[in-house]
Amino acid sequence: MTVSRARAGLGLAAAAAILLAVAGAAAQNPPRSLVPDAAPSERPGPVRESDVRVDRLEAPGRASVGLLGPGESGLPEDLWNGADRATVAALLRRLPPYYRSATARDLARRLLLSTGRMPAGGISDAELLALRMERLLTMGQAQSVVALAEAAGGGISEPEVAEILAEAQFALGEVDSACDTVQVAVRAGGSGYWQRASVFCDLRADRRADAELMRSLIAESGDPDTIFRDLADAVADETPVTVEADPSMRALHLAMLQAAPSATLTRAENLPPYLAAIVASGSGHDPATRIAAGERAVAQAGLAPSVVMLVYDMEGAADSPSPYREPVVSAMVTQETAGRAEALNELWSRAAKSGDHDLAAGYAQGILQRLEPGSAVAFLAPAAIRMSLLNGGYERAEAWMRILDRGASSGGGDLVQANTAFLPLAQVAGLTGTDTRKLRVWWSVTTDQPQGRTRALRVLMALDALGRPADADLWADLLAGDMQAVAGVDEPALWRQLVMASGNGATGVALLAALALTGTDSAGELDPVTLSTITGVLRRAGLQAEARQLAIEAVIAQGD
């Protein structure tokens, strides 16, 4: 099970008890920064697979091998200092298969790809390596999985490593290599997954007798994989089959579907995000299917938005029910500046209703860069600021902020309201210094609204965690209300690990715990206590840019 959010379970009193209980132990080893400080205006960039370089580690073992060193966006080699293997393995199992938070996703990639000296222990190198490879695969890093296995010496001899390697090869379309991996495993007595994969490989190589014999053995064993059975029929006999996408689908299933022209995929939005990215990027599906898959993959697997934007404009794409296709296409093709700005504003409005803020920001990035901020398009400023910040464009956000300020100063009612709503985000993002007077203006119109006190608590705790606290009188106002009603935490074991590891300088363990607590939800769905604690842990680990970006995501997602 992974943590999707910090749910109202223990409450603030229990959260405080956890923090106080571990504080004494952590105090003997005060937090220290283990990586160089990031520039305040620098947003952490995603780790592209093209940037990955294989870097074999001489010692102490295969569990320590990585593809990124400290000078290549990786974390320091001593990131596992103070860790034990059992804890690392347990936390790797708790990592979610994907992240809606772009900041968390990029950080998870860096952590899993980094070279780091793993301490000795009872958990095998192969098990730790397989856990890293599995999480990388489900995040869409199939190429890195193959490279990591190669850097560790191939990995085909250990079943737990070999299965993830084969899945990565299927995901990359390297079916010949995948079938070579399958053949070795079957000869070694592999069953289950290996038997199913061997059926596909034998059918593909026209070894039908071998395939039918294995299919009979699988049927006798009562294998529950109905998607495999249907796809095997389609590959063997071109039997027409409709496959309804399921979150349990694996790369083997998708490889079989792509090899069967008679097979049709539906409900592509239900695919695991890394498989959705493959469907969106390929040409073997209709535009509506590719759009459904692509929107999921952009939001949850980091697929380049341009892939989906190109499909939006294809013939037949109008059949897609996507709410984003129309404004994106309009923004791409409209030549008139005001019309383009209106399309982007509509895109943001639609995305905000469903919480797809990062998705809209990704679509708008290139278009916004070509759209000059000005008074004629001042109505776009509130959305343009937020999309620019989500894309790491702080200078562009400042330019739009000046347009918003001028519009509000001239008395435009909507812009005055928008400027007030923007005050806390400007301070969290570091576009302005912490200004309690301005925060109080926002406070006066927020705290009486539904969830207003939760929003206020999230902002104040984020500023605390970023080292830019608001004045005590705002906290005094908040303390006068019902604190218990606006926040809660769950998962006490993860919380303990997070705080203890951060206090003891065990960077790798602290980051694993933080990522596990972040889960698959957006940053805006983290409760204020969880958000501020994770943000503070990142900052104390020297990851200031990531801390700020996570806080920005959360404040934008809550509507500020």
The per-residue pLDDT for range 369-389, each reduced to its tens digit, is 999 999 999 999 999 999 999
Question: Under a CB-based contact definition with an 8 Å cutoff, are residues 554 and 449 in contact?
Answer: no
Q: Which sign does the torsion angle of CA 530, 534, 535, 540 carry?
A: positive
> Which backbone phi and psi does 462 adopt, to 5 degrees?
-65, -45
Q: What is the Cα–Cα distance from 414 to 270, expressed in whole angstroms?
A: 39
Distances, alpha carbon 481 to alpha carbons 333, 407, 489, in Å: 51, 35, 19
List of residues 6+ apart from 77 with CB closer than 8 A = 69, 70, 115, 116, 117
CA angle 348, 354, 355 (to 5 degrees): 75
Token pair for 77: 């080699």
Q: What is the Cα–Cα distance from 351 to 357, expressed in whole angstroms?
A: 6
Question: Under a CB-based contact definition with an 8 Å cutoff, are residues 80 and 508 in contact?
Answer: yes
Question: Under a CB-based contact definition with an 8 Å cutoff, are residues 458 and 555 in contact?
Answer: yes
Q: Where are the domains of the chain?
A: 323-410, 429-559
Element (H, E) at 70: none
Q: What is the Cα–Cα distance from 489 to 9, expressed in whole angstroms?
A: 6
Q: What is the Cα–Cα distance from 370 to 379, expressed in whole angstroms?
A: 17
- What predicted TM-score, i.e. pTM, was given to this entire model? 0.86
Which residue positions in the chain have pLDDT lower than 50? 1-60, 486
How high is the pLDDT of residue 75? 84
Residue of 46, 98, 87, 108 whose CA lies nearest to 519: 98
The per-residue pLDDT for range 246-265, each reduced to its tens digit, is 999 999 999 999 999 999 99
- Name the DSSP class of 243: E
Q: Other CB atoms closer than 10 Å to residue 17's CB: what's the count?
A: 13
Q: What is the Cα–Cα distance from 250 to 254, expressed in whole angstroms?
A: 7
How high is the pLDDT of residue 118? 87
Token pair for 504: 């003891």
